[in-house]
């Protein structure tokens, strides 16, 4: 999985925050603080679709594209973490260092993930 540029990340943040697929116009509106051009956001969404970060589907009118994140934010972050782990000369040492660097509820989450049923969804820790 490739890294995202700043605007790509902002667009993905919008899509991850939405409960339903979004049109280009809706993404532009949600990015109002950045004041991006409609065509810029359209280009970014097209690029994200080609990279398989987003899926697009035709809207009810049959003309408008609607975009949705292809994977959850958590899946994206987990894949980034695995990419970084691949950079380690010694994966085991990197994992041990990481595990020892987390504390509190994060350590509990890791411990639970390693001892619980792997098919069980992790608890919502917001």
Domain of 65, CATH number, reads 1.10.10.10
How many domains does the structure of the chain reveal?
Answer: 2
Neighbours of 107 (CB within 10 A): 13
What is the distance between the alpha carbons of residues 14 and 77, in angstroms, rounded to a whole number? 16
Q: Which residues contact 12 (CB under 8 A, 6 or more apart)?
A: 4, 48, 53, 54, 69, 73, 76
Examine the domain organization and report whether 54 and 106 are in the same domain. Answer: no
For residue 38 the two structure tokens come to: 């409609």
At 113 the pLDDT is 85
Residues 115/107, Cβ–Cβ less than 8 Å: no
Mean pLDDT in each 10-residue stretch from start to end of the chain (126 residues)?
Answer: 84 96 97 95 97 92 93 92 88 88 88 77 55
Residue 81 lies in a domain: yes
Residue 47 lies in a domain: yes
Examine the domain organization and report whether 14 and 57 are in the same domain. Answer: yes
What is the distance between the alpha carbons of residues 32 and 93, in angstroms, rounded to a whole number? 44
At 42 the pLDDT is 97
Can you give the residue range of the structural domain that contains 90?
Answer: 73-115
Examine the domain organization and report whether 45 and 82 are in the same domain. Answer: no
At 4 the pLDDT is 87
Residue 121 lies in a domain: no
If phi over 0 gives left and psi between -120 and 50 gives alpha, with beta otherwise, what is residue 104? left
At 126 the pLDDT is 45
Examine the domain organization and report whether 17 and 39 are in the same domain. Answer: yes
């Amino acid at each position: 999985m490739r890294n995202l540029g700043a605007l790509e990340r902002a667009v993905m943040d919008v899509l991850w925050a939405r409960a339903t697929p979004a049109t280009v116009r809706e993404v532009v509106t949600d990015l109002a603080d950045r004041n991006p051009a409609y065509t810029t956001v359209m280009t970014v969404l097209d690029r994200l679709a080609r990279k398989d970060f987003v899926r697009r589907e035709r809207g009810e009118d049959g003309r408008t594209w609607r975009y949705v994140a292809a994977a959850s934010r958590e899946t994206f972050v987990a894949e980034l973490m695995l990419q970084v782990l691949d950079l380690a000369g010694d994966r085991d040492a990197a994992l041990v260092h990481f595990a020892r660097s987390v504390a509190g509820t994060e350590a509990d989450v890791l411990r639970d993930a390693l001892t619980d049923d792997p098919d069980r969804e992790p608890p919502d820790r917001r």
